[in-house]
Chain A
Amino acid sequence: MGQIHLEKVRKTFGDVVIIPELDLKIEDGEFVVFVGPSGCGKSTLLRLIAGLEDVTSGEIMIDGAQATALPPAKRGLAMVFQSYALYPHMSVRKNIAFPLKMAGMDKAEIDRRVDYAAKTLNLDAYIDRRPAQLSGGQRQRVAIGRAIVREPAAFLFDEPLSNLDAALRVGMRLEISELHQRLKTTMIYVTHDQVEAMTMADKIVVLRAGKIEQVGTPLELYTNPQNTFVAGFIGSPRMNLLSGAEAEKYGAATIGIRPEHLRLSTTEGDWTGTVKVSEHLGSDTFLHVETPVHDEPITVRADGEFPIHAGDTVYLSPQQDKLHRFNAEGLSIR
């Protein structure tokens, strides 16, 4: 079980409001990702759930029971820290066994669980090493091992992959997703990387300045962003957001069109522009096109072998059914 409900949760540090009143329901077994730019309060929200910070007002319910005033250890949650927070003077085995030892479990059961966790995470070979003798990815796995042996109601991940290099990050992303498939335990994952959010989440919570901007599945957020912030934040490269005369043609204050939803042609189209920069990624080519309709270059995705270079003239036409319209408050017009 791992159902977490936040009701009217508020957090302030002195006069600074980190999280204005917020409600959120996380169902059992869900993989929920909190995503947002740095300083949006996503880590604070996670720490509130963990119990490492006290809520200023509001309630936190775990599995229907009041948990607002419970100390972290009593909430039945396990956390993986950004820095891993391994105990440097203990071997991998002792690190993983620590929460069980604190729970007063008997030796044989501890050994059984630690061995099982080590096997699951491919840590057998390093079981007697100290954290300092491990690589970043191995440390990460030890931190996860220390979390899973407790068989918690939910896992909390605080930007766990940000200290890893790009290749390792993709691998660990997959491992964490597989772990979730296998354990089917609730996981709450904090990241500023929308790619991690899109690839891993069942449900994404987009936060800005402590406020929830939108909650939904990755595809919902991609196809139906509720406002310009979510529209600009989800998707890579970013959605092009145009305002002014061009938007008024569509009866909106701002229109948004993703780079992959612009038709590109060298002969005809709605908007004329000059290619400023072209980024060849192999599979795709991203063009930054300067046009009279927008003061910033518009990003367009083209095929990998699209024969185009800086300085060339191109024509762009938005796919009408993939166009997003937003009103003056930045909210989506349906």
Chain B
Amino acid sequence: MATLHTKTAARAMMAPAVIVLLIWMAVPLAMTLYFSTLNYTLYNPISQPFVGFDNYSYFLADPTFLAALVNTLVLVVGVLAITVIGGILVALLLDQDFYGVNIVRLLVIAPFFVMPTVAALVWKNMMMNPVYGVIGQFLTAIGLTPIDWMTEVPLLSIIIIVAWQWLPFATLILLTSLQSLSADQKEAAEMDGAGALSIFWYITLPHMSRAITVVILIQTIFLLSIFAEILVTTQGGPGSQSTNITYLVAQQATSYGDIGAASAGGIVAVVLANIVAIFLVRLIGKNLDA
């Protein structure tokens, strides 16, 4: 019961968590904003003169920035496309009743429990290596020239690795949604003369629209900040072919020691993430309304 007393008690109980969360978010953000206005490098950390927006103009004018921005979007859209479409197909498959469906479900979900770094390394060395990787061996076996994934198609390689990691998540959410579709509706559509494709298009897909929205929104948040997979495989290369914004920011700090530019880049990334978020909520957020 929401009496005045319980409301006050509830606020008092929540206060520590809210305050801690606020500090953990507000302090780093404030420090990043502050550093982004200084000429702060690790090679000469003693002198940190105020430079205004110089770090921003330096970061935004860097030709790598534009490439990184495009790579980020391609990475997000590519992974989303594969996981949503693939997730729907796998979910439709797992919704069927076949022998051993429980074991198959468990196997499909397994990749989600593998750490990103480990997954990326396994893909790089055991799957995509042109000489002793599984794909290379297979291509050699059937007489084709193996592809050197990491140098020939670096961004596609990363998209494949990340999609492999996120497919289970999409599948799981879409499968639960699929299982909540009442059999009556499908039977009614069947009696109304709808074939399997029409049932999918007019009944199943609209039913799943909310789950698809959830998958897109949640994945976008994580996909904008992909880092580990790039670090252990291509390291953003060759050149900047597989550098995304997150990796570029990290590069500014670790490779060039330029904390000021990295901070400015971090703020730019925050702004971009918000633009994407607003765009997405406008576009598909209405699906979340009851």
Instruction: Produce 1/0 per residue, A40-80, CB < 8 A to B.
Output: 00000000001110000000000000000001110001110
Q: How far is the CA of A81 from the CA of B191 in the complex (A)?
A: 11
Additional A-B contact list (8), CB under 8 Å, known A72-B187, A102-B192: A73-B194, A78-B191, A85-B184, A86-B185, A87-B188, A98-B189, A146-B192, A150-B192
Instruction: Produce 1/0 per residue, B187-199, CB < 8 A to A.
Output: 1111111100010
Q: Is the CB of A85 within 8 A of B185?
A: yes
Closest residue of B by beta carbon distance from A156:
B191
Give chain A residues whose Cβ lies under 8 Å from the Cβ of B193. 73, 99, 102-103
Q: Is the CB of A52 within 8 A of B191?
A: yes
Contact of A79 among B191, B194, B202, B203 (CB under 8 A): B191
Q: How far is the CA of A58 from the CA of B190 in the complex (A)?
A: 23
Give chain A residues whose Cβ lies under 8 Å from the Cβ of B188. 79, 81, 85-87, 146
Q: Pick 23 A–B contacts, CB within 8 A, sort by A.
A: A52-B187, A72-B191, A73-B190, A73-B191, A73-B192, A77-B191, A79-B187, A81-B188, A82-B184, A83-B184, A85-B184, A85-B188, A86-B188, A87-B185, A87-B188, A98-B192, A98-B202, A99-B191, A99-B193, A102-B198, A103-B193, A132-B290, A150-B192
Interface, chain A (partner B; CB < 8 A): 50-52, 71-73, 77-79, 81-83, 85-90, 98-99, 102-103, 132, 146, 150
Give chain B residues whose Cβ lies under 8 Å from the Cβ of A85. 182, 184-185, 187-188
Q: How far is the CA of A80 from the CA of B198 in the complex (A)?
A: 20
A-B residue pairs, 9 tightest by C-beta: A99-B192, A85-B184, A73-B193, A85-B188, A102-B193, A89-B206, A72-B191, A83-B184, A81-B184
Give chain B residues whose Cβ lies under 8 Å from the Cβ of A103. 193
B105 on interface, CB distance cutoff 8 Å: no
Q: Is the CB of A102 within 8 A of B194?
A: yes
Give chain B residues whose Cβ lies under 8 Å from the Cβ of A98. 189, 192, 194, 202
Of residues 179 through 227 on chain B, the ones whose CB sits less than 8 Å from some CB of chain A are 182, 184-185, 187-194, 198, 202-203, 206-207, 209
- Among B192, B198, B202, B206, residue most surrounded by chain A Cβ atoms (within 10 Å): B192
Closest residue of A by beta carbon distance from B198:
A102
Closest residue of B by beta carbon distance from A152:
B191
- Among B191, B209, B290, residue most surrounded by chain A Cβ atoms (within 10 Å): B191
Q: How far is the CA of A103 from the CA of B203 in the complex (A)?
A: 16
Give chain B residues whose Cβ lies under 8 Å from the Cβ of A132. 290
Q: How far is the CA of A104 from the CA of B103 in the complex (A)?
A: 42
A110 to chain B, nearest CB (A): 13
Q: Is the CB of B182 within 8 A of A83?
A: yes
Give chain A residues whose Cβ lies under 8 Å from the Cβ of B191. 50-52, 72-73, 77-79, 99
Q: Which range holds the interface residue count of chain B?
A: 10 to 19
Q: How far is the CA of A236 from the CA of B187 in the complex (A)?
A: 35
Q: How far is the CA of A90 from the CA of B185 in the complex (A)?
A: 12
Q: How far is the CA of A90 from the CA of B201 in the complex (A)?
A: 13
A178 to chain B, nearest CB (A): 24
Q: How far is the CA of A72 from the CA of B192 in the complex (A)?
A: 8
Give chain A residues whose Cβ lies under 8 Å from the Cβ of B189. 87, 98, 102
Q: How far is the CA of A72 from the CA of B193 in the complex (A)?
A: 8
B191 to chain A, nearest CB (A): 5
Q: Is the CB of A81 within 8 A of B207?
A: no
Q: How far is the CA of A83 from the CA of B184 in the complex (A)?
A: 7
Closest residue of B by beta carbon distance from A77:
B191
Give chain B residues whose Cβ lies under 8 Å from the Cβ of A82. 184
Q: How far is the CA of A60 from the CA of B252 in the complex (A)?
A: 76
- Among A86, A88, A89, residue most surrounded by chain B Cβ atoms (within 10 Å): A89
Closest residue of B by beta carbon distance from A132:
B290
Closest residue of B by beta carbon distance from A89:
B206
A308 to chain B, nearest CB (A): 48
Give chain B residues whose Cβ lies under 8 Å from the Cβ of A83. 182, 184
A331 to chain B, nearest CB (A): 38
Give chain B residues whose Cβ lies under 8 Å from the Cβ of A88. 207
B15 to chain A, nearest CB (A): 38
Give chain B residues whose Cβ lies under 8 Å from the Cβ of A52. 187, 190-191
Q: How far is the CA of A90 from the CA of B206 in the complex (A)?
A: 9
A7 to chain B, nearest CB (A): 23
Instruction: Produce 1/0 per residue, B100-137, CB < 8 A to A.
Output: 00000000000000000000000000000000000000
Q: How far is the CA of A99 from the CA of B193 in the complex (A)?
A: 6
Q: How far is the CA of A90 from the CA of B192 in the complex (A)?
A: 15
Closest residue of B by beta carbon distance from A83:
B184
Contact of A87 among B190, B202, B290 (CB under 8 A): B202
Q: How far is the CA of A102 from the CA of B197 in the complex (A)?
A: 11
A58 to chain B, nearest CB (A): 21
Q: How far is the CA of A146 from the CA of B189 in the complex (A)?
A: 11
Q: How far is the CA of A88 from the CA of B188 in the complex (A)?
A: 13
Closest residue of A by beta carbon distance from B287:
A89
- Among A79, A85, A90, residue most surrounded by chain B Cβ atoms (within 10 Å): A85
A9 to chain B, nearest CB (A): 19
Q: How far is the CA of A132 from the CA of B289 in the complex (A)?
A: 13
Give chain B residues whose Cβ lies under 8 Å from the Cβ of A90. 206
Give chain A residues whose Cβ lies under 8 Å from the Cβ of B187. 52, 72, 79, 81, 85
A244 to chain B, nearest CB (A): 48
Give chain A residues whose Cβ lies under 8 Å from the Cβ of B209. 89
A4 to chain B, nearest CB (A): 15
Of residues 154 through 201 on chain B, the ones whose CB sits less than 8 Å from some CB of chain A are 182, 184-185, 187-194, 198
Closest residue of B by beta carbon distance from A98:
B192
